[in-house]
Structure 1
Amino acid sequence: MPPMPLLLGFALVIILAVVPPLIGGYLVRGLTSYLIFGLLALAVGLITGYGRLFNLGVGANFGVSAYTVAILTHHGVQNPLALVAAALLAGFLVSLLFSFYALVASGVEYLMLTFLSTAAFAAVPLTALDLTGGDNGLNVLGGLQPSFGLNPLVGNNFYWFVLGVVAALAALSWYVLASQTGKAIQAIGRNPGRAAAMGYSVPRYRIALTIYASLIASIGGWLYALQTNFVFIDLLGVANSTNGLVYALIGGVDTILGPLLGAAMLRALTDQLSRAGTQSSLFIGIVLMLVVYLIPEGVLGLRHRLVKRRVAARGEEVAEAPEAVAAGLKAENVEAL
């Protein structure tokens, strides 16, 4: 019998595939965008929540892949398979840089290296104006050909396509984490010294996790370029990476569904408050502070808290919940970063 998380995920996919198209309107377009940015959040969640590597460069994979699609269409490459292959290759090359950082640094040093590298990536479009369009951004040419003939603005086919891609990547991520490889990655994240003493190759697993998460972010960048037909410099900036981290923290960084849920919640809130007035950033900041303070383990992390209280009420013992990333780091766990 399939595991319960897999059954619940399958049921959620069915609901998302049926209900939003029936409602129609902006909901389908909005959910498409939420799912795409959910991949960015999922990539951050895998590295931060399970690998305990605070990487502020995942957004660079997202942006580089999106720019790769746009640039290639301006050079006559509009075959959809060639574009997705090029986007993945570009993301893979970027991931090698962050993999190197995972080998030579940890903790604050690793955080700063990824931060500075992402800031450097954001400056690249300004140094190659003819290629990237600079501050003006760059259109994706070719009409519907780069998106397999699917129209992101008309009908539901593109939405179903994105939903299928996201569902497949989420299921694959769940499978990886449930495997022996995933258990080793989580053990290394909690205590790399102990994992190394048990015979695990810490550098090899960290490199594998970095590359895998980067490819997920790259697929998100590819889908973003197809949906919007436009890329701009902010996709490469630190803000995009930080947004992915915030999405993951809000939903629950130690889960697969949590980052996807966090991206949908925060982007939906942003959309609604932006329509209400110019003070949307202030309200969003207040909401974020309340969430991080009240539920540092994320929205889905509340489940463990409720189970713990229920079991404690019966006088039984319960395993401690995983340390909440948003709550900060203890000194003895710094090496786990």
Structure 2
Amino acid sequence: MLLRRAKEGGWLGAAAPAAVILVLALLPFMPVVGENRYLLSLLIGAFVFAVFAMSFDVLLGYTGIVSFGHALFFGTGTYTAILLAKYAGAGFWTALTAAPLVAALLALAVGSLSLRVKGVYFAMVSMAFAEFFRVVAEKASPITGGSDGLAVQVAPDWAYGPRNRVELYFLTLALAVVTYLVLRRVLASPFGRTLVAIRENEQRAAAVGYNVFAFKLGALVLAGVVASLAGVMYAATENFVVPSVLGVDTTIQVLLMSIIGGVGTLGGPALGAGIIRLAGTLLSSYTERWRLALGVLYALLVLFLPGGLAGLARAFGRRRAARRSAAGEGGVVAGGTARAS
């Protein structure tokens, strides 16, 4: 299925991500961006949530699992980075190593219990786990700071250089690009193709001999690990954490990013993250009713682009392929007619 999608998109499917990455890498060298600290901060936040959205796409887009508690792993990464920096003096790279390990163990424990139910029941159980840990983070105020939160520098000193956070921009962009490339490779492997088979028909996948539970658990661990990386990036960019980072609102936000961008595409949710982060901030600077305007934007995108923005690009690629095929068939018919005459 993934191969078919790639063929449908043609060269556009491969060139578009490379072009986007190139443009993003060149943006800080443009004065209008590189000298605008506010705009750079918006883009940095978009990179963080792009990684988070890609992790959610592993569950929703590739495995067909709807989770309302995915913020648990994002918050795990954030709290791990903040607590290590606060109480152990550990740096960014230590947190980037430790957080995925903590998230993987947590995903194994949570998944072993919650994946025994399906559909809306799993969604509710996953939300319950996330809310439980949110309450724990709020009540353990001597350690976590409670609802007041904790503030401490996480990113390396060089990331806060004199050039208006440009160094931090490139750090988060590099991590987002590496995450995208690694996930793309993993999901194009037999493991990823099996996840898609489970999403399409779980009963058939089980009937042909796949251990559906094990593959779902593997998908949850993978998604949790990537989400924790996004959490570490968030801690490095904000230098602050509060329990609400574990809440259902955070999961709903990344769910919207995935749907608007286009589930099952990786790049689509990343694009959706950028649009929602930028659109929300820009609209709030023009109107007090920016949430209403953002809701209207969501509704229009879902109504007129049910496959998301990535679905629109795939449809364009299919139309181009159909036109080329029709043109080729026309040439063959014309040639055959000429020979017959």
Normalising by the smaller structure, the TM-score range is 0.7 to 0.9
Give a deviation string over 1:134-155, Cα, whole Å, max 9, x none.
Answer: 111110247xxx4363117834
Which residue number corresponds to residue 20 of structure 2?
A: 12
Q: Structure 1 pair 31/188, CA: closer, same or farther in 2 (3 Å)? A: same
Q: Distance in 2 between matches of 1:88 and 1:140?
A: 20
Tell me by how many angstroms 1:305 deviates. Answer: 3.5
- Amino acid of the residue matched to residue 209 of structure 1? A
Give a deviation string over 1:51-82, Cα, whole Å, max 9, x none.
Answer: 00001221111112111211222213223332
Give a deviation string over 1:105-140, Cα, whole Å, max 9, x none.
Answer: 111111111111122222122210111111111102
Which residue number corresponds to residue 295 of structure 1?
A: 305
- Amino acid of the residue matched to residue 203 of structure 2? G
Which residue number corresponds to residue 77 of structure 1?
A: 89
Indicate the SS of the match to 1:53.
coil
Q: Structure 1 pair 7/306, CA: closer, same or farther in 2 (3 Å)? A: closer
Alignment of 1:308-323 (within 5 A): none
Q: Structure 1 pair 315/188, CA: closer, same or farther in 2 (3 Å)? A: same
Larger radius of gyration: 2
Unmatched segments (≥5 aa) in structure 2: 1-5, 327-341
Q: Distance in 2 between matches of 1:253 and 1:101?
A: 26
Tell me by how many angstroms 1:235 deviates. Answer: 0.7
- Amino acid of the residue matched to residue 77 of structure 2? S
Q: Say whether the 8 Å CA contact 1:57–1:98 is kept in structure 2.
A: no
The Cα RMSD (Å) is: 2.4
Asked if 1:268 corresponds to 2:269, the answer is no
TM superposition score normalised by structure 2? 0.85
Q: Distance in 2 between matches of 1:21 and 1:271?
A: 23
Asked if 1:96 corresponds to 2:121, the answer is no
Give the total of aligned pairs.
312
Q: Distance in 2 between matches of 1:42 and 1:304?
A: 18
Q: Say whether the 8 Å CA contact 1:69–1:140 is kept in structure 2.
A: no
Unmatched segments (≥5 aa) in structure 1: 317-337
- Amino acid of the residue matched to residue 240 of structure 1? T
Asked if 1:158 corresponds to 2:168, the answer is yes
Match of 1:137 among 149, 161, 165: 149
Tell me by how many angstroms 1:99 deviates. Answer: 1.9
Deviating more after overlay: 186-195 vs 102-111: 102-111
Match of 2:119 among 107, 128, 138: 107
Tell me by how many angstroms 1:304 deviates. Answer: 3.4
Indicate the SS of the match to 1:276.
coil
Alignment of 1:194-273 (within 5 A): 194-273=204-283
Deviating more after overlay: 290-299 vs 164-173: 290-299
Give a deviation string over 1:226-245, Cα, whole Å, max 9, x none.
Answer: 11111112211000011111
Q: Say whether the 8 Å CA contact 1:95–1:210 is kept in structure 2.
A: yes
Which residue number corresponds to residue 120 of structure 1?
A: 132
Tell me by how many angstroms 1:102 deviates. Answer: 5.3
Q: Distance in 2 between matches of 1:315 and 1:164?
A: 38
Deviating more after overlay: 252-261 vs 87-96: 87-96
Which residue number corresponds to residue 44 of structure 1?
A: 56
Looking at secondary structure, tell me which structure has more helix per residue: 2
- Amino acid of the residue matched to residue 171 of structure 2? F
TM superposition score normalised by structure 1? 0.86
Give a deviation string over 1:191-211, Cα, whole Å, max 9, x none.
Answer: 111111222221121111111
